[in-house]
Chain A
Amino acid sequence: MSIALQVTDLSKTFPVGKKLFGGAKGAVKAVHPITLSVNTGETLGIVGESGCGKSTLARMLVGLIPATTGQIEIEGAALNTADPADFGKRIQYVFQDPISSLNPRKTIRQIMDAPLKLLHKMDRPAREKRILEIFDSVNLRADFLDRYPHEFSGGQAQRIGIARALAAQARILILDEPVSALDVSVQAQVLNLLADLKHEFGLTYLFISHDLAVVEAVSDRIAVLYFGSVVEEGRAEEIFANPRHPYTKLLAESAPVVGRALGDPEQGQAELPNPLNPPPGCAFANRCPYASGQCRKTVPVLEQIGPDQRVACYHPLPSA
């Protein structure tokens, strides 16, 4: 199995505030060094709550923001400059908000034309043919092409967003919360479409979401992000059923599930640490019932714990 996307020690630090003289007052580590790999044809789910750095990670992977450290390799070739045009042919992005990702003053045809013309230098007839092919595969009618974005519903607009990503002919798609702005009945349509397209074009997905059930339903493997770091990574069917990191367990127990009694698994109201003043040890330690002195002093690293499972914890939960 070949590796489609390899990320090594990728991190992002944002400067915060400004002093009267000189530089920034502080820095926020939005993403701590992350090492991940995605196999060809696989769907890697990335799940985390707000502020965990999942969108920052996604935007670095397509070159929309330059990484502070680390490198990105796509199909064995490193991409070091943060030039989205360079990334665009190999890795594409599907945005969370389908409406705001389409320029309101352009027709769908103009939107679809841009990647074909600029990334692949196709001439007009070739573009026309290609657009129709793509529209056919995302179940959109050709007469939509001459309309403007505001004429579409969220689900249709998201199909157009997916079609645009396909037009660039990248083999890897970053799906950043692609269905969270959609209603549940439409959500399932889009998720199924994504599954069909993956099969049809042999795509590799990185699927980012806050919704555990959705991520589990579409992914082969899942990485759980907390406060900018991967805390656990494992097979989709395993990770929530048999969590090894206390945070993963908390997530799985918090999700409302039909037939499970309501409970507050945390019995409290613990919050995220202050990003301007992060704790020296494990970021989850102050919410963790198993935390020890070691957890509060040094940051645990991600280590292999099972055949397909990695966890960043000094006291991983026993395997069920």
Chain B
Amino acid sequence: MGGYILKRLLLAIPVIFGITVIVFLIMAMIPGDPATAILGSYATPDNVAKINRDLGLDKPLVTRYFIWLWNMLHGDFGTSFSLNRPVIDEVLERFNNTLILAGTSFVMCTVLGIIAGSISAARQYGFADKAITFVVLLGISIPSFFLGMMMILFFAVDLRWLPVSGMYAIYGGGDLPDLIRHLTMPALALAVVATGVVARLSRSAMLEVLRQDFIRTARAKGVGEGRVIWGHALRAAMVSIIPVLGIQAGFVLSGAVYIEIVFQWPGIGRMLVDAILQRDILLVQGGVVFVAACYVIFNIIVDVAQSLLDPRIKT
């Protein structure tokens, strides 16, 4: 087991390296120069040249890449000009907030999705199946940002149950109940789409498994139907559900960008969109590389979970 985890971690190194190359190359394609963007109306040729020198932009592309990589390996992601703050500090703070939101949604969508999909499969063509299928379809068809806006109108403006936006109340907030009140709507809105995807997948995986011969064997030896569905079938179906949870985490992280904007959640998605609109390249680069690296690690965890579940995978 330890060997398998080590092997997966070693294999992740070239992937993360590749990510930095891709991000760097994409950012290098940006037309115009950041110096002008930074200086705005102070952009005299002298000032531009000075900024370029400070940022190392006068050096060749390859050199610039390795300087950036070298600095990152030492924990230095550069300084954001728009925030005038080290990139890594901003990214860590924002990513922490995103994790609270996306993590909650991820857990919700996984648990709800698998349960809903399994019930749907176990009651194929029954009322529960049709109801779940319809709700799921609605869920995957609604834009999460639109759903978020409608939730604000209904729960915050009309019913006044929950705060409109933000992460904490401006006055007197900051404790856990306050966070939960603020978290409820965005986490739900974010989870709806992902739940739909997980539920559909679980349903088809369960249907596939339920037709297998070993299910007939279980029934033939007298195993009760509850255990057939929730023991034998679900366990076998998890083999095809778990790998998709990695991709699913990507969906949730992606959806978080919209939700953070709609609900004014101070997460990394909002930070990235702002940084792109302001051409804060170092902040974009740092943010993307950091999140992608975390995602790679998460996928390793998923693979390890898969190998724990399925003895046929050689560890």
Binding site for B on A (CB under 8 A): 20
Across the A-B interface, the 3 shortest Cβ-Cβ residue pairs? A20-B7, A20-B10, A20-B11
Q: Which residue of A lies closest to B3 (CB)?
A: A20
B273 to chain A, nearest CB (A): 39
Convert B1-42 into 0s and 1s, putting 1 for each residue whose CB lies closer than 8 angstroms to a CB of A: 000000100110000000000000000000000000000000
A53 to chain B, nearest CB (A): 24
Q: Which residues of A contact B10 (CB under 8 A)?
A: 20
Q: Which residues of B contact A20 (CB under 8 A)?
A: 7, 10-11
A201 to chain B, nearest CB (A): 43
Cα distance, A20 to B13, chains bound together (Å): 13
Cα distance, A13 to B293, chains bound together (Å): 40
Q: Which residues of A contact B11 (CB under 8 A)?
A: 20
Cα distance, A163 to B10, chains bound together (Å): 54
Task: Tell me the interface secondary structure of chain A in the complex.
Answer: loop
Cα distance, A20 to B7, chains bound together (Å): 8
Cα distance, A20 to B5, chains bound together (Å): 13
Number of A-B contacts (CB under 8 A): 3
Binding site for A on B (CB under 8 A): 7, 10-11
Cα distance, A20 to B8, chains bound together (Å): 10
Q: Which residue of A lies closest to B6 (CB)?
A: A20
Cα distance, A20 to B12, chains bound together (Å): 12
Q: Which residue of B lies closest to A20 (CB)?
A: B7
Cα distance, A20 to B10, chains bound together (Å): 9
B12 to chain A, nearest CB (A): 12
Q: Which residue of A lies closest to B11 (CB)?
A: A20
Q: Which residue of B lies closest to A17 (CB)?
A: B314
Of the A-B pairs whose beta carbons lie under 8 Å apart in the complex, a sample of 3, sorted by A's number, is A20-B7, A20-B10, A20-B11
Cα distance, A20 to B11, chains bound together (Å): 8
Q: Which residue of B lies closest to A19 (CB)?
A: B7
Cα distance, A132 to B11, chains bound together (Å): 58
A25 to chain B, nearest CB (A): 10
Q: Which residue of A lies closest to B10 (CB)?
A: A20
Q: Which residue of B lies closest to A21 (CB)?
A: B10
A167 to chain B, nearest CB (A): 39
Q: Which residues of A contact B7 (CB under 8 A)?
A: 20
Q: Which residue of A lies closest to B314 (CB)?
A: A17
B18 to chain A, nearest CB (A): 17
Cα distance, A20 to B3, chains bound together (Å): 11
A210 to chain B, nearest CB (A): 22
A152 to chain B, nearest CB (A): 25
Cα distance, A20 to B6, chains bound together (Å): 11
A175 to chain B, nearest CB (A): 30
Cα distance, A70 to B128, chains bound together (Å): 64
B96 to chain A, nearest CB (A): 34
A177 to chain B, nearest CB (A): 23
Cα distance, A262 to B7, chains bound together (Å): 52
A89 to chain B, nearest CB (A): 43
Q: Which residue of A lies closest to B7 (CB)?
A: A20
Cα distance, A214 to B10, chains bound together (Å): 54
Cα distance, A20 to B314, chains bound together (Å): 13
A18 to chain B, nearest CB (A): 11
Cα distance, A97 to B251, chains bound together (Å): 42
B314 to chain A, nearest CB (A): 8
B13 to chain A, nearest CB (A): 12
Cα distance, A235 to B7, chains bound together (Å): 55
Cα distance, A121 to B10, chains bound together (Å): 54
A24 to chain B, nearest CB (A): 14
Cα distance, A141 to B10, chains bound together (Å): 62
A290 to chain B, nearest CB (A): 38
A19 to chain B, nearest CB (A): 10
